């Protein structure tokens, strides 16, 4: 069981986390625009998360916290 937390207001929607996630469980949330004007990333199937922290490793903006 692992958990990732996104600080949505810090996200710039760059999509890097989405691409590196081995489980492909992150996606761009097209329904919302955060205060910075970006579509933030969000996790869709948290239970599939393996806590590899790839997303956090590549996120340039320290948006993501990973727990396991």
DSSP label of 65: E
Instruction: Report the 10 Å Cβ neighbour count for 59.
Output: 20
| Residue 17, SS3 per DSSP | helix
The entry of ligand SF4, other proteins, none near residue 17 (CB within 5 to 8 angstroms by kind) is: ligand SF4
The DSSP line for 39-60 is: --EEES-GGG-----HHHHH-T
Give yes or no for residue 43 binding ligand SF4 (CB under 6 A): no
Residues binding ligand SF4 (CB under 6 A):
6, 11-17, 41, 59, 61, 63-64
Residues binding other proteins (CB under 8 A):
1-3, 9-10, 12-16, 19-20, 30, 33, 35-38, 51, 53-54, 56-62, 64-68
């Amino acid at each position: 069981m692992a958990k990732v937390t996104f600080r949505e207001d810090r996200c710039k929607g760059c999509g890097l986390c989405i691409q590196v996630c081995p489980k492909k469980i992150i996606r761009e949330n097209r329904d919302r625009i955060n205060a910075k004007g970006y579509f933030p990333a969000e996790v869709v199937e948290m239970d599939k998360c393996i806590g590899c922290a790839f997303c956090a490793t590549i996120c340039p903006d320290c948006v993501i916290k990973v727990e396991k």
